[in-house]
Structure 1
Amino acid sequence: MQTSYRGTRRAIGLHSAALVLVAAAAALAGCTTGPVENLPSAGTNLNQTQPSGPSRWELVRWQQPDGSLRDIPHGDNGQPIIFEFSQGIDAAQGTVSGTSGCNRFTGSYGKTDTGIRFDRIAGTRMACPPPRMELESTLLKAMQTPFATVGTQPSAGSTGRQIIWKSAGGDLLQFVEREGVGKRGASVDAGGVEKVVYIDSQRVECSGVGKMTCYRWRESPQAPWQLWYGPIEGLEFEPGVAYKLRVREYQVPNPPADASSIRWQLLNVESRTRAK
């Protein structure tokens, strides 16, 4: 994952981002209901790239309804807000996971006639400094209602594809596609180590930086239970159901102090057993 922006690369990316947002804001202020002026329409641009694997997007700008900007973390001032889409944002539906400002989250997503919706979002429960907790709470609340796509821009030079979503509350959220694990076009099983794990039917309270909920897992039906503190990316966990999963385990280089150094990505649900 790209973790910093410096020099010309940062200047180009942020300048491009600002131009896109200005166009989007102007269109919204004029009550425009069609595509943003001087940008490809959302449907046309995004459909030019059909689903070809995961894609990874970073929130780079958050403009509030009054025009002011929220202070959001980037690679050089904190862990960025990242959304990883299992089938890319071009897909009709899929699973989504990532970081929401403080914790990791997972859930599902689907296209709507005007944008995107998020469903069954769940996350870890680690405690962070109040500004990050407030930012995360606001973002997760916004994700409870669909986002409308108000602008898109294809990749250019060092800057990836960009998209601007508008929340139901009127916030403009601008995301840029990033490279790294989960980038568009990458195979879901590229790198990492494949393994089979058994997941208990209920999550339990555990303690990380703060109180949170963990999975119980083991490597075989006879092995002792262990705690898994992070999400299982791609799994739509149903309480009361035990799982046998095939996952790919990745080592996370330089993880934040409050995050795991290992991540699991779901490859296949081998079996589901409802607890009696």
Structure 2
Amino acid sequence: MQTFLRGKCRNIGLRSAAVALATAAATLAACATAPAPNLPSAGANLNQTQPSGPSRWELVRWQQADGTLRDIPHGDNGQPIIFEFSDGIDAAQGTVSGTSGCNRFTGSYGKTDTGVRFDRVAGTRMACPPPRMELESALLKAMEGSFTTVGTQPSSAVSSGRQVVWKTASGDLLQFAEREGVGRRGASAAAGGVEKIVYIDSQRVECSGVGKMMCYRWRESPDSPWQLWYGPIEGLDFEQGVSYKLRVREYQVPNPPADASAIRWELLKVESRTRAQ
């Protein structure tokens, strides 16, 4: 990897799909004209192994134009940076939403000859610690220009899932990995889920997990006692001072990280919202 960052390009053997993608990203950053070995072309269609439909992608690596890696801090409840594409990553156009480091965002996307572009991106305006705000600002700024696809990795027997590397207008490389949880591609995770109604309090409260964090207060009925919810509510654009009645899908997360919840909630519908007096 250091060899690439110093600008000395040479062919190497790729031992795994994960190594192939990371190596290809570094190679393309330093040697824009050199072919990436054993990597699908920039125009490769990721649907060659997946059906069309909604898909969910997590930002897992950010390499800046000078070759240094940018830290990707997660949210208060461990939320990653997520892009949810309404019609799949290969669709000609559609809507995109997700989390940008601190706030939730929505907008539209469209396929270009070389990658993808984003339009009319708008987000909530919650304040977060400086590292997350700085990352979010940089990401939203990057989304003002088109992303060029410089590497793809379809699903296979030797890879953990589909991945894509996009190059921003400023030369940064953003690596995204597909995650379960939206549409048909999340069917395996959601199939065992259970729909339920939950009531969410109008204020989040400080709580302790692995460290200090902010939790939702929730209950199963209007007269039940409040309980703490330590994880995110995926798809909810929470507004302080507003209480919610939500229909969610709850399912178990297999082998969750030590600092993450073993139960996941995915928003299906906001049944009602009431502003606190």
Moved more, 146-155 or 207-216: 146-155
Residue 145 of structure 2 is aligned to residue 145 of structure 1: no
Partners of 1:122 and 1:252 lie apart in 2 by 28
Equivalent residues in 2 for 1:165-244 (5 A)? 165-166=166-167, 170-178=171-179, 180-182=180-182, 185-187=185-187, 189-244=190-245
Corresponding position of 2:108: 111
The one-letter code matched in structure 2 to 1:85 is: E
SS in structure 1 at match of 2:16: helix
1:24 Cα deviation from its structure 2 partner: 5.8
The one-letter code matched in structure 2 to 1:173 is: L
Partners of 1:124 and 1:195 lie apart in 2 by 30
1:250 Cα deviation from its structure 2 partner: 1.6
Corresponding position of 1:33: none
Residue 17 of structure 2 is aligned to residue 12 of structure 1: yes
1:71 Cα deviation from its structure 2 partner: 8.1
Corresponding position of 2:63: 63
SS in structure 2 at match of 1:230: coil
Q: Report the CA distance shift for 1:107/1:9 in structure 2 as closer, same or farther (over 3 A).
A: farther
Q: Report the CA distance shift for 1:107/1:72 in structure 2 as closer, same or farther (over 3 A).
A: closer
Q: Report the CA distance shift for 1:94/1:144 in structure 2 as closer, same or farther (over 3 A).
A: closer
1:169 Cα deviation from its structure 2 partner: 6.0
The one-letter code matched in structure 2 to 1:65 is: A
Q: Report the CA distance shift for 1:205/1:246 in structure 2 as closer, same or farther (over 3 A).
A: same
Quick one: percent identity of the two aligned structures? Answer: 49
1:218 Cα deviation from its structure 2 partner: 0.7
- The answer as to whether partners of 1:108 and 1:121 remain within 8 angstroms in 2 is no
Partners of 1:51 and 1:156 lie apart in 2 by 14
1:211 Cα deviation from its structure 2 partner: 2.3
Q: Which of 36, 40, 55 lines up with 2:43 in the alignment?
A: 40
Q: Report the CA distance shift for 1:138/1:183 in structure 2 as closer, same or farther (over 3 A).
A: farther
Q: Report the CA distance shift for 1:230/1:217 in structure 2 as closer, same or farther (over 3 A).
A: same
1:195 Cα deviation from its structure 2 partner: 0.9
Partners of 2:200 and 2:33 lie apart in 1 by 47
Scaled by the length of structure 1, the TM-score of the pair is: 0.66
Task: Note the aligned Cα RMSD (angstroms).
Answer: 4.2
Give the paired residue count.
239
1:246 Cα deviation from its structure 2 partner: 0.7
- The answer as to whether partners of 2:250 and 2:265 remain within 8 angstroms in 1 is yes
1:213-233 C-alpha deviation (Å, 9 max, x unpaired): 211111001111111111100
Partners of 2:258 and 2:18 lie apart in 1 by 28
The one-letter code matched in structure 2 to 1:256 is: P
1:189-247 C-alpha deviation (Å, 9 max, x unpaired): 52212110001112122222322221111100111111111110011112222111011
Corresponding position of 1:120: 124
1:21-70 C-alpha deviation (Å, 9 max, x unpaired): 534654499xxxxxxx95218xxx579989613334462x4322212446
- The answer as to whether partners of 2:190 and 2:251 remain within 8 angstroms in 1 is no
Query: 5+ residue gaps in structure 2?
Result: 1-12, 35-39, 111-115
SS in structure 2 at match of 1:165: strand
1:11 Cα deviation from its structure 2 partner: 1.2
Higher relative contact order (CA 8 A, sep 6+): 1
1:53-96 C-alpha deviation (Å, 9 max, x unpaired): 3334462x4322212446889xxxxx996736263445632442
1:257 Cα deviation from its structure 2 partner: 2.4
Partners of 1:184 and 1:121 lie apart in 2 by 31
SS in structure 1 at match of 2:185: coil
Partners of 2:79 and 2:224 lie apart in 1 by 37
- The answer as to whether partners of 1:97 and 1:234 remain within 8 angstroms in 2 is no
